[in-house]
Amino acid sequence: MIRILYCFLLVILSPPLLFGLYRKRPNKPKFGKRWIEHFGFGDHLYCKQQPLWIHTVSVGETIAAIPFIRKLKEQEPNLTIVLTTTTSTGAEQAKKLGALVIHRYMPIDFGWCIKNFLKRVGPYQLLIMETELWPNTLHTVHKASIPITVMNARLSEKSLKNYSLFSSFFKQLSNNLSLIICQQNSDKDRFLQLGVPEHKLTVVGSIKYEINITKETIEHANQLRNMLGINRPIWIAASTHKGEDEKILTAHEFICKHLKDALLILVPRHPERFDDVFALCNKLNLITVRRTKNDMVTQRTQVYLADTMGEMLPLIGCADVCFMGGSLLGDKVGGHNILEPASLRKPIVIGPSYFNFSDIVNTLRDRDACIITTEKELKNNVIKLLLDSGYATKISDNATCFIKTQQGAIQRTLDNIKI
């Protein structure tokens, strides 16, 4: 009965959801003729062995899955992997894997769409990155006798409260799952509170600790730093959201009064906002250069707008301090992953709203490995890190040392999955 009600609501909500998905926006990759894949159509997949199906949602989950997929292909070079994403920006990240995967768009959550997909792809197992649980997908895949594993699963206190309101519905979802591989013990405890049987739960740590900082990334970061200015103070605001850029730019205006040649690298989370953020910088009379325009950056340049996709690591790598966005907007976003700047040995500043990554942030905070700031104190914290290299090094070294102790989650995940 609950699933029937869900299907009814999905019929009503799917038109506006699809409109938002397909709507043309500046700098957003196009779906083109591949939009039919969202309905389970597309080319049939012909291969000697049944493929493994891995689902990620968008950019963040796809990036996190890349090291896992590379490691998996090292161990199973003949394995065919079908990687699905919902968004076109996620598809752009999937391209980085080249021939290691076959990319398809994830069918929308109607049973007939999922059945179409299964007929054309024929996977023997589904791995879901993090906690992307769609009722009809789980039901249809489970009914087809295909095991479903959720890997790198996390469940925040907020999500626990939301799911608890529909505990019987969540129990139906979890009945379709073979295994939930959790990041932390706290995640396992929350799943247990929702009624998931303990034999379906295991803890291996976070795959996101397995960030591979390649030689190419370091070289790219060094090139960017040379272009932006080796000796000037540079900080980056990564993955910012609407309503947050104004707060960051206001802080940067203050910073520029105390550090005349300070430069802010501003990286909006969503590409469709690039033009709006550029207009905002101009409105505030900040001298701004867009990365895509290849204009020369001078000592007078105050903001470097990174209006590209897939360059976050080298952009963070060329900065002195990293502020992680999505954390100055109350309970709207809940922060973003701070492990990338930590792996690059950058001192990290994050706002007070980080509920999506509370375990990681609180653990690093307790080890004096990151700074949690209010909007009001953001400017002062950034200035202190830019001026006090000893303090900045202490923060970044503490984070890097902790990350090294946490690695190995990819292999532990593989050990728990019957490939």
Catalytically active residues are: 61
By residue count, the chain amounts to 419
DSSP labels, 86-147? SSHHHHHHHGGGGGG-EEEEPPPS-HHHHHHHHHHH--SEEEEESS---HHHHHHHHHTT--
Let me know: does 263 contact 232? Beta carbons within 8 Å: yes
3-state secondary structure of 32: helix
Q: Do the Cβ atoms of 39 and 104 come closer than 8 Å?
A: no
Residue 18: exposed, middle, or buried by beta-carbon count in 10 A (0-12, 13-18, 19+)?
middle
Residue 232 in 3-state DSSP?
A: coil
Which residues are CB-neighbours of 115 under 8 A, at least 6 positions away? 40, 140
- Could you give the angle at the alpha carbon of 59 between the alpha carbons of 362 and 414, nearest 5°? 70
| The token pair that represents 114 in the structure block | 């999922």
